[in-house]
Structure 1
Amino acid sequence: MGTRIKQGARLYIGKHPRLFFGAYSVRTRYRDLLVNAETQIVIEGFPRSGNTFAVFAFRHAQGRDVRIAHHLHAPAQVTRAVERGVPTVVLVRDPLEAVPSLMLRDPRFSMDLALRYYVSFYEAVAEHRDGYVLATFEDVTRDYGAVLERVNARFNTGFAPFEHTEDSVARVFSLIEESHRAKRRNKVVEEEIAIPSAAKSAPKGELKGRLWSPEFEPLTRRARAAYDNLVLPSL
Structure 2
Amino acid sequence: MKLAIDNFVLSTRYRAVTFASTRPALYYGLRDMTGPRDALCIQPDTELVIEGYPRSANSTTAYGFLDRQPRTVKLAHHKHHAAQLLRAVELGVPAVMLIRRPKEAALSNLALREEARRRGGREQRQAQLGYINVLSAWLASLIHGDAVGRLSARA
CA-CA distance at 1:13 after TM superposition:
0.8
CA-CA distance at 1:63 after TM superposition:
3.6
How do residues 1-235 of structure 1 correspond to structure 2 at under 5 angstroms?
2-25=9-32, 26-28=34-36, 30-106=37-113, 107=117, 108-129=121-142, 130=148, 154=154
Distance in 2 separating the partners of 1:73 and 1:102: 12
Q: Deviations over 1:161-206 (max 9, x none)?
A: xxxxxxxxxxxxxxxxxxxxxxxxxxxxxxxxxxxxxxxxxxxxxx
The alignment-based identity, stated in percent, is 32
Measured on the aligned residues, the alpha-carbon RMSD in Å equals 2.0
Determine if contact 2:103/2:128 at 8 Å carries over to the other structure. no
Higher relative contact order structure (alpha carbons within 8 Å, sequence separation ≥ 6): 2
Determine if contact 2:24/2:86 at 8 Å carries over to the other structure. yes
Structure showing greater radius of gyration is: 1
Q: Deviations over 1:43-67 (max 9, x none)?
A: 0111111111010101111042111
> Which residue in the other structure is 2:3 paired with?
none
CA-CA distance at 1:132 after TM superposition:
5.2
Determine if contact 1:102/1:109 at 8 Å carries over to the other structure. no
TM-score (norm: length of structure 2): 0.79
Distance in 1 separating the partners of 2:107 and 2:129: 13
Distance in 2 separating the partners of 1:66 and 1:114: 32
Runs of 5+ unmatched residues, structure 1: 134-152, 156-235
> What SS does the corresponding residue of 2:56 show, helix, strand or coil?
coil
Runs of 5+ unmatched residues, structure 2: 1-5, 143-147
Determine if contact 2:49/2:94 at 8 Å carries over to the other structure. yes
TM-score (norm: length of structure 1): 0.53
Determine if contact 1:32/1:69 at 8 Å carries over to the other structure. yes
> What SS does the corresponding residue of 2:51 show, helix, strand or coil?
strand
> Which residue in the other structure is 1:159 paired with?
none
